[in-house]
Amino acid sequence: MGTQARTRRHAAWRRLYNPPMTALIPDWTGDTEALRAEQEALARQVVLRDSFVRPLRTVAGFDVGFEDDGVTTRAAAVLLDADSLAVLDRQVARLPTRMPYVPGLLSFRELPALLAALALLPTAPDLALIDGQGIAHPRRLGVAAHFGVISGLPSIGVAKSVLVGESRMALHDMRGAFTPLRDGREQIGWLLRSKRGCLPLVVSPGHRVAMASAPELVMRFTTAYRLPEPTRLADRLASRRAPDADSDD
């Protein structure tokens, strides 16, 4: 897709993703079964093959925090050059929190603000890294998969802990080592040692990224820290920490 076409498409996204976005994200009614059914329906739309621009030109990291004792959802988006990892843009979107935390339904809580943050970026990223699960989710629709299906963007989930599944193989302490994460017989992601001596990340494709490609892509954007640079910076912006404060994350 050419630059002008991508710009026009993103302009349409800006109009679409402005709040309240009720057509995209259901209002909270307390009906958790309906939301689980919607997750199962959306999970069937997930594409687990590489379908992104090559070479990648931009990558964006996304994360969510909360303000005012959870009343406000604060989503951060950081756009980077895919080669140099130079920051091209930072944006924060704040929206009223639409629903309480319900295990397994986190994406419905976080997605409105994430989409609003996406709409603030000057251009759509070629790849999105989301702090959270991709398909490594009980119904195969974590926040990164949900984000990818709704936005249409290639996405990968980069989580700090396992939500579902287990690894049956020992993970080497070498940086860049990874081992499959399985739920029964199904592979749903990877445990990735992004930094020696640190706990592994849970990496799983969200949308338009193949299972085999996910850990390689995450390591491409990982520097001296445990988290890849896009989500590391988004995490700091979402939590209002200094973007370059010394940390082992």
Residues making up the annotated binding site for Mg(2+) are 63, 131
Angle value at C-alpha 47, between 24 and 3, nearest 5 degrees: 75
Q: Which two tokens stand for residue 91?
A: 């944006």
Contact between 201 and 192 under an 8 Å Cβ cutoff? The reply is yes
Selection from 115, 124, 132 nearest residue 73 by Cα:
115
190: β partners = 180, 203
Annotated binding site: 63, 131
**C-alpha distance from residue 41 to each of 37, 46, 48, 146 (Å):** 6, 10, 16, 11
| Amino acid code (one letter) for 135 | I
**Exposure b/e, 88-101, CB count within 10 A at least 16 = b:** bebbbbbbebbbee
